[in-house]
Amino acid sequence: MMVATLVLSVPHEFTGRPAFAWLAGATTILGLACFAAQIRISRKVFLGIGLTLAAIAAAVLPDWDGAILDALSRASFIAALFTALTAIRSAAITDPGIVECGRFLAGQPPGRRYFALTIGGHLFGLVLLYGAISLLGGLATESASNEPDERIRRIRTRRMLIAIQRGFVSTLMWSPLTFSMAITLSVVPGASWSGALPLCALGSLGLAGLGWALDTLFKPPPSAGGRAGRTQAEGGWMHHMRPLYVLLAVILVSSAAVHFAADIRIFGAVMGTVPLIALAWVAMQPDAAGHRITVPARRAADFALRDVPDLNGELTLLIMAGFIGTLGASIAAPLVAASGLDLAAIPASALLVGLFWLIPITGQVGMNPILAVSLLGPLLPSPETLGVAPALMVFAITAGWSLSGVTSPYTASVLLVGAYGRVGPTRVGLCWNGPYALTCGAVVSLSLPLLAALL
């Protein structure tokens, strides 16, 4: 059903015909129904909240059917994009060349290991999403296990894991392969990926650079004899990282070409091109017997019947977060208007700073950023009303999304880092990344008023 949602969503992106969106919504509902018996109770709660909101909308909204269809359209879009990105992740994780890229990064000498893993977390994150932390985190802990000094081993493991994580979350500010950019662009009127790219790419570089600077300033001194057992990767970056460079170039160039040539959303281009790239990539990977012809068909079947169903909990959470946030905003909008609350009366710079901080703060109580942005975005004044560029509002939201990704104990990136570091997610989010988040938050908070005055 989720693969069918992807197949139906692509022609909707290219043609705009509502029939494709309705069919994609129907397959999304059927897919969730199939998942319902398999997922944990915490995920079933999201299904219950969605049904409850649908009933409330039918009771209080005059155009309740349109509101529910809009929420279902958001849900099916999330399902389709997630399925497309899972396809490229499934193809990448079995390529020995990609694994060797990660091993090369994890084996860098101490002087440039943090920098290398930050870059690696960013580049791998573009393709593997949270799988970047799984792949590089496993290789990092494997590399650190060679250190005989327990103190050095713990410190090195922590630094390597947060380098990977901070490199990954910096992709959330600009990459067309992330939900942060997809959802944000859908709630900010007048925003486009190409228009927001320069400012958001600069912000992404700033997040990654601040992480490296803090690590350089505050890294602990090594203990005597702590260098024994350290391994060092040999060879040049172009040679060892070529498979990843080629893959990223193919994905980004092909998606951008379709985006501009067909004049469709960048995310529609991603959904249309990435699964084809994944299938072609699998075709170049021989199986254990050295055969290639039968691999794509078998891998495609495994993907639809095993890989996607294995992610039923994550899919349910993301889909329902989009549905609940969008429908909740439709229900809340008349209430906000009736209350007389005028957000447009708040100075633009103060509103942007508050919006930026609201996302990581709500993440501390378990609110997924998809839910937070889908709920709050439609209630905000338009950038035109505030007198700011749409790109600046995108910058504020995606920056807050990125900080939520390193601090919220409920996000996949924090949970994965905690699992590899053998510490609790709260320790990762507030102790390991707290000073980093506060530093980045201060820089962004000071930058937003300045940018609002300049743009």
Question: Span 87-95, mean pLDDT?
Answer: 85
Residue 113 confidence class, pLDDT cut points 50, 70, 90: confident
Q: Is the pLDDT of residue 47 over 90?
A: yes
Sort 172 into a burial class: Cβ within 10 Å, 0-12 / 13-18 / 19+: buried
Distance of CA 65 to the CA centre of its chain: 30
382 — phi, psi (to 5°)? -70, 155
Q: Higher model confidence: residue 289 or residue 280? A: 280
Quick check: 231 pLDDT over 80?
no
Task: Extract the tokens encoding 83.
Answer: 């399925």
Which token pair is 16? 């705009």
CA–CA dist 313, 98 (Å, integer): 27
- Cα torsion through 342, 380, 200, 75, rounded to 10: 170
SS (H, E, C) 36-69: HCCCCHHHHHHHHHHHHHHHHHHHHCCCHHHHHH
Q: Is 365 exposed, middle or buried (0-12, 13-18, 19+ CB in 10 A)?
A: exposed
Of 196, 201, 191, the closest CA to residue 380 belongs to 191
Collapsing DSSP states into helix, strand and coil, what is residue 226? coil
With a CB cutoff of 8 Å and minimum separation 6, the contacts of 222 are 110, 152
What is the per-residue pLDDT across 160-205, written as a single tens digit (0 to 9) for each? 999 999 999 999 999 998 999 999 999 999 999 999 999 999 999 9
pLDDT higher than 50, residue 230: no
pLDDT digits (tens, 9 = 90+) for 202-221: 999 999 999 999 998 887 76
What does the pLDDT read at residue 90?
A: 86
pLDDT tens digits for range 305-340: 998 999 999 999 999 999 999 999 999 999 888 888
With a cut of 60, say whether residue 411 has pLDDT above it: yes
Residue 150's pLDDT is: 83
Q: Tokens 């290219």: give the residue.
A: 14
